[in-house]
Amino acid sequence: MAEVIDRRALRTRKALHSALMSLILRKGYEATTIQDIIDEADVGRSTFYGHYTGKEDLLRNGFQILRRELTDAQRAARAGTDGAQDEPLGFSRAMFEHAAGYADVYLAMVGGRGGVVAISELRKVLSEFVRKELPAARDDGAVSRELVVQFVVGTLLTVLTWWLERRPGLTPSQADAMFRRLALNGAGASIRTRSRVG
């Protein structure tokens, strides 16, 4: 019987998450109410509150799906499957592919409270994955390990935002290649090349 309840709860959560995504596209995050969500998902208010504390909680919970996808991609990269040979930051291409699938939702949220919540949750998720990639003893005194984590996460978020807002014609792989170049090699090569030309 517990398996039936778990499946039902999973279906309800999925329906609520899908309702939120649809409403964000139609109305925007700010204008979407709990009543809109429960009407769209065709569930009762008590059912909604049995799963989530509010609209932000529902939005934050959606990042569990992303976390699972990135975990699988990181495992595949470490194992050398999917063409990767123990590739550093092996989750990043999956992040860009996921973002491509939700580009309209992301763009609809940018600028409002939903965007703040989404970026905060995304930063937490990505920080977890970058920390797993760095050796535990990375802190050498010159640059702290946490600064390296935040640099890589900030670079990924910057490239992700730039890509979705300004260069949507690029493929996820092309955007990922730009991120990798910046995160793993820094901007130094581009800066030095430009100063020699100018």
Reply yes or no on whether the pLDDT at 5 is more than 90: no
CA distances from 106 to 48, 72, 83, 156, 189 (A): 23, 22, 29, 15, 31
pTM value?
0.74
Tens of pLDDT, residue by residue over 116-127, are: 778 888 899 889
On whether the 62-197 domain is CATH 1.10.357, my answer is yes
CATH 1.10.10.60 fits 2-58, yes or no: yes
Range scoring the smallest mean pLDDT among 35-39, 80-84, 155-159: 80-84
**Spans of all domains in the chain:** 2-58, 62-197
pLDDT by residue (tens digit) across 23-50?
A: 988 888 889 999 999 999 999 999 999 9
Report DSSP letters for the chain, one per residue: -HHHHHHHHHHHHHHHHHHHHHHHHHH-TTT--HHHHHHHHT--HHHHHHH-SSHHHHHHHTHHHHHHHHHHHHHHHHHT-TT-SS-TTTTHHHHHHHHHHTHHHHHHHTTSHHHHHHHHHHHHHHHHHHHHHS-TT---SSS-HHHHHHHHHHHHHHHHHHHHHH-TTS-HHHHHHHHHHHHHH-SHHHHHHHHHH-
